[in-house]
Chain A
């Protein structure tokens, strides 16, 4: 079974600075999807960024980018120019490819990010 590990329960960063959240995973599959989700105090899960394992290029969404190291099974999230609205719980998640017929997400334990004004 796949497992997702987030080794940083809490992180903090000064506003406008850059922070990196770590995520590692374990799988025997060669093709899969990786996600970062944000859960603010409202508890609504919001997709931050998505990476397809067969793509070598790291995904980027505005101030959010990932460092995807497939061989190392690492998928870190970098937030640049941190803003107060970035304060949230961040979850890393893994999903098998569709053709396996199992679409469920496996979540990490989360990292609580605090933004210091």
Chain B
């Protein structure tokens, strides 16, 4: 089946530094990738939608300059949290549409802790 590989699975960084999270579609081409943020015991909140070769579309309230998304190829999308602060600590998940009858595949998530 379709697999999305997300790395790293967890990361701890110092306040003020930047962190990059990668999502790769291993056996299919992901023209569209979705990035979510999930707080403990809460639902997934869509942050942005990235399309290969074009600028990402951000949801209302999401800072474009803080959460940089790049989707340079059909198999790789990255989310960079710039100048991270403790309030950016969260669980980040990517997802891609497989284009097969409306299905989606999710990455395994990245737990970001900013200290």
Contacts and interface: CB of A to CB of B under 8 A. Distances in A.
Interface of A: 33, 35, 37, 42-47, 50, 52, 91, 95, 98, 103-105, 107-110, 112
Interface string B55-97: 0000000000000000000000000000000000001010101
Interface of A is mostly: strand
Q: What does DSSP make chain B's interface, helix, strand, loop or mixed?
A: strand
B43 A91 contact: yes
Interface size bracket, B side:
20 to 34
A95 B103 CA distance: 10
B32 A103 contact: yes
B46 to A, nearest CB: 6
A52 B101 contact: yes
A108 B101 contact: no
A107 B44 contact: yes
Nearest to A51: B102
Contacts of A104: 34, 46, 49
B31 to A, nearest CB: 10
Contact of B34 (A33, A105, A112): A105
